[in-house]
């Protein structure tokens, strides 16, 4: 009886295996057709970049104060930073255009004869100012230095998200046209015919920004207005097109 049951189970397993194999086995004709499509393809890269004039400046500046007493250093720092905010407000720059990027209190030590002695505390408050009127950038630098800024970092330039999106779409369209021209040239040279692309793959986008300006010279407090040039930046787009023939 056990032998009969074992034989029946074995036959059933073989039948299920054959059925599953016939159901999941790839169609040789379909596989060959897919391979042929991959083989008969033209793949091209398209690129485009559009040069634009920046419309926004990001100015990183800060105030550093020192005192033997940490609370005194903090209080002096707050007073100077308040003056900086008022100077910015006089230029029409509101607080929503100013953000704190770092606030630190560091102990300062004096070293002598391999012995360290606490000298006091440095308090640094760094902010980033977004300036949408580039004619005011020099004034932002000069006026804030007069009001206590002594920690100058950098200036970078950019455009708004809305401007970037609009320009990027234009660059993307140009990149597709660039890729199509390459594909048509290759097809003509090879004596084949192509129509619409089988695949369109968008590449990464980004800026090629102007060099960041170092603002270290501003802390000298010179009376001459600080000259600033925004320069240019680029919005780039890249695509990959695949044509079957």
Q: What CATH code is carried by the domain that includes residue 105?
A: 3.30.70.2970
Question: Does the pLDDT value for residue 37 go beyond 80?
Answer: no
Per-residue pLDDT, averaged over 109-121, amounts to 94
For residues 168 and 240, membership in a common domain is answered with: yes
Co-location of 63 and 49 in the same domain: no
Structure token digits, residue 169: 């779409």
- Report, as an integer, the average pLDDT of 97-119: 95
CATH of the domain at 166: 3.30.110.170
The yes-or-no verdict on residue 84 having pLDDT over 70 is yes
- Residue 171 CA to residue 97 CA, distance in Å, equals 29
Q: What Å distances lie between residue 134 and 161, 180, 185, CA to CA?
A: 17, 39, 45
Show which of 155, 186, 207 is a domain's final residue.
Answer: 155
Domain match, 104 and 47 both: no
With tokens 């999106």, the residue in question is 165
Rounded to an integer, the average pLDDT of 47-65 is: 94
93/209 same-domain check: no
Q: Which helix (H) or strand (E) holds 62?
A: strand 56-67
Indicate if 121 and 201 belong to the same structural domain.
no
With cut-offs at 50, 70 and 90, classify the pLDDT of residue 154. Answer: confident
If asked whether residues 238 and 208 sit together in one domain, one would say yes
Query: Could you tell me if residue 80 is inside a domain?
Result: yes
Which one is predicted more confidently, 12 or 213? 213
- Listed range (32-36, 71-75, 110-114, 161-165) with the worst mean pLDDT: 32-36
Give the dihedral of Cα atoms 178, 179, 185, 189; nearest 10 deg: 160
Domain-located, residue 164: yes
- The answer to whether 162 and 156 are in contact (CB under 8 A) is no
Picking from 155, 178, 200, the residue at the C-terminal end of a domain is: 155
How many structural domains are present in the chain? 2
* Cα–Cα separations (whole angstroms), residue 37 to 71, 150, 202, 239: 74, 65, 21, 21
**113 and 123: one domain?**
yes
Looking at the structure, tell me whether residues 71 and 87 fall in a common domain. yes
Q: Is the pLDDT of residue 63 over 60?
A: yes
Of 44 and 18, the structure prediction assigns the larger pLDDT to 44
Q: Is the pLDDT of residue 31 over 60?
A: no
Residue with structure tokens 């005192």? 67
Residue 221 lies in a domain: no
**Percent share of the chain, pLDDT over 70:** 75
Q: Which of 158, 146, 147, 132 is nearest to 225 (CA)?
A: 146
Q: Are 199 and 147 in the same domain?
A: no
Q: Is residue 113 part of a domain?
A: yes
Q: Do residues 166 and 97 share a domain?
A: no
Q: How far apart are CA 54 and CA 146, in angstroms?
A: 27
**Alpha carbon of 77 to those of 2, 62, 111: distances in Å?**
93, 10, 25
Inter-axis angle of helices 137-146 and 70-90, nearest 10? 140
- What pLDDT sits at residue 163? 94
Report pLDDT for 91.
Answer: 95
List C-alpha distances in Å: 137 to 102, 157, 223, 229.
21, 11, 15, 10
| Rounded average pLDDT over 219-240 | 74
**What value does the mean pLDDT take over residues 177-204?**
96
In this predicted structure, what is the pLDDT of residue 185? 98
Q: Are residues 121 and 173 both part of a single domain?
A: no
Tell me, yes or no, if the pTM score tops 0.75: no
**Terminal-residue alpha carbon distance, the chain:** 64
In the predicted model, is pLDDT for residue 210 greater than 80? no
Per-residue pLDDT, 14 = 41
**Residue range of the domain that includes 206:** 40-55+159-216+227-245
Q: Give the pLDDT confidence score for residue 34 in this predicted structure.
A: 52
**Where does the pLDDT of residue 1 fall: very low under 50, low under 70, confident under 90, or very high at 90 and above?**
low
């Amino acid at each position: 009886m056990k032998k009969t049951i074992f034989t029946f189970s074995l036959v059933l397993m073989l039948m299920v295996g054959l059925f599953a194999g016939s159901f999941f086995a790839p169609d040789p004709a379909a596989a060959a057709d897919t391979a042929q499509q991959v083989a008969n393809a033209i793949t091209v890269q398209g690129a485009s970049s559009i040069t634009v004039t920046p419309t926004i400046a990001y100015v990183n500046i800060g105030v550093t104060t020192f005192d033997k007493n940490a609370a005194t250093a903090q209080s002096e720092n707050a007073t100077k930073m308040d003056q900086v905010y008022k100077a910015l407000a006089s230029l029409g720059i509101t607080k929503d255009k100013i953000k704190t990027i770092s606030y630190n209190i560091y102990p300062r030590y004096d070293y002598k004869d391999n012995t360290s002695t606490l000298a006091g505390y440095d308090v640094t408050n760094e902010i980033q100012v977004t300036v949408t009127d580039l004619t005011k950038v020099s004034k932002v630098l000069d006026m804030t230095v007069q009001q206590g800024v002594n920690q100058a970092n950098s200036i970078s330039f950019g455009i708004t998200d809305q401007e970037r999106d609009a320009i990027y779409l234009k660059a993307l369209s140009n990149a597709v046209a660039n890729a199509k021209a390459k594909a048509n040239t290759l097809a003509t040279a090879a004596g084949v015919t192509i129509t619409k692309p089988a695949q369109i793959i968008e590449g990464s986008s980004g800026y090629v920004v102007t060099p960041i300006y170092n603002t270290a010279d501003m802390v000298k407090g010179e009376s001459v207005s600080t000259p600033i040039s925004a320069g240019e930046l680029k919005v780039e787009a890249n695509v990959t097109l695949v044509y079957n023939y």
